[in-house]
Structure 1
């Protein structure tokens, strides 16, 4: 069972075609999970609140 789960994840990562809906840098499982994580935690991540704590200077990203 565990091998089937890892095999399916690997196949999804390797063979999923990019679509216009992919917002992350990669495609497949990681991009999907990153999008879900970002949408569920919007406003609570450092990238969303950094501007409150950093004054002036260079932008890291």
Structure 2
């Protein structure tokens, strides 16, 4: 059986499993996108962030 047939049989056939798959996919996509965005932001601004210069100002 093809991947589409298996996916159709297990996920798309019932509304409840489809909604659960959408919610789980959204959660994992959001977490992955956030981690990638924060990593990119911190790599671009390295040396300018408070965590990088805090030792100069704290006593």
Q: Please, what TM-score do these two structures have when normalized by structure 2?
A: 0.50
Structure 1 residue runs of 5 or longer lacking an equivalent are 1-9, 17-26, 56-61
Of 27, 45, 56, 1:14 maps to 27
Structure 2 residue runs of 5 or longer lacking an equivalent are 1-22
Q: Which has the higher helix share?
A: 2
Q: Which has the larger radius of gyration?
A: 2
- Distance of aligned partners of 1:54 and 1:12 in 2 relative to their CA distance in 1, 3 Å threshold: farther
Of 37, 41, 52, 1:37 maps to 41
- Distance of aligned partners of 1:34 and 1:13 in 2 relative to their CA distance in 1, 3 Å threshold: farther
Q: Please, what TM-score do these two structures have when normalized by structure 1?
A: 0.49
What is the aligned residue count?
37
Q: Give the match for residue 55 of structure 2.
A: 51
Higher relative contact order (CA 8 A, sep 6+): 1
